[in-house]
C-alpha cells in the first residue's frame, strides 16, 4: 500500500522551488570539491572532506524532496466552510481567551513559527472538518484543552 503525503498546491510548489535551487547550486559544490581535491593529500584535507560531505548532503536532500513530490497528493480547497488543508482558521483558546490564526497545511509544509499548522498535529487533527462556532476538544500530550473556531477562510 502506497501512502500519499497530503499537501497544498503552494506546498508542492515550495518543494519544487527548493529542488530547483539545490540543483542550481550543485555545479558550485562540484567545483568546490574539484578545487579541494587539487590541494593534495586527501587523507588530511579538511576542505576536501567538507566539500564531499556538502555535495552528498545536497544530493541526498534532492532525492528526499523528489520522493515527497512523487508521493504527494495535492488537496483541492473546497468552499464548504469547514476546516481543511489549505484553509486559514482563527480560533480562541477557551482556557485564556487568546486568539490565534493558522493556515492548515500538510506535514511537509510545516514551518515552525510562521502561522502554519500541520493537519496531523493534535490541534490540526482536532480542527479538521469542523466549522465556525464549533467548540473542539484537543487531545494533546500535556492534557486536553478546548478551542472555539471563530473563522474559516480559503
Digit-coded pLDDT (tens) for 27-71 = 999 999 999 888 777 677 788 889 999 999 999 999 999 999 999
Assess whether pLDDT exceeds 70 at residue 110: no
Assess whether pLDDT exceeds 90 at residue 138: yes
Domains of the chain, earliest start first: 5-74 (1.10.287.180), 88-153 (3.10.50.30)
pLDDT for res 72: 92
Assess whether pLDDT exceeds 70 at residue 2: no
Find the distance separating the first CA and the last CA of the chain, reported in whole Å: 32
pLDDT for res 44: 74
Block residue for cell numbers 466552510? 81
Sign of the CA dihedral running 17, 18, 19, 21: positive
Mean pLDDT of the region 94-121:
85
Mean pLDDT of the region 135-141:
93
Assess whether pLDDT exceeds 80 at residue 153: yes
Query: Could you tell me what percent of the chain has a pLDDT over 90?
Result: 63
pLDDT for res 113: 58
Count of alpha carbons within 13 Å of 119, Cβ hemisphere only?
A: 20
Assess whether pLDDT exceeds 90 at residue 26: yes
Assess whether pLDDT exceeds 80 at residue 87: yes
Amino acid at each position: 500500500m502506497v501512502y500519499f503525503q497530503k499537501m497544498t498546491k503552494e506546498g508542492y510548489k515550495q518543494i519544487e522551488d527548493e529542488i530547483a535551487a539545490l540543483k542550481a547550486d550543485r555545479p558550485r559544490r562540484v567545483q568546490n570539491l574539484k578545487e579541494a581535491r587539487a590541494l593534495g593529500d586527501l587523507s588530511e584535507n579538511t576542505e576536501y572532506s567538507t566539500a564531499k560531505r556538502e555535495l552528498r548532503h545536497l544530493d541526498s536532500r534532492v532525492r528526499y524532496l523528489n520522493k515527497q513530490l512523487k508521493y504527494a497528493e495535492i488537496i483541492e480547497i473546497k468552499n464548504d466552510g469547514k476546516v481543511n488543508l489549505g484553509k486559514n482558521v482563527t480560533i480562541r483558546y477557551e482556557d485564556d481567551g487568546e486568539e490565534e490564526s493558522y493556515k492548515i497545511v500538510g506535514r511537509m509544509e510545516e514551518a515552525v513559527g510562521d502561522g502554519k499548522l500541520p493537519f496531523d498535529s493534535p490541534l490540526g487533527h482536532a480542527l479538521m472538518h469542523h466549522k465556525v462556532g464549533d467548540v473542539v476538544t484537543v487531545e494533546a500530550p500535556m492534557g486536553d484543552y478546548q478551542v472555539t473556531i471563530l473563522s474559516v477562510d480559503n
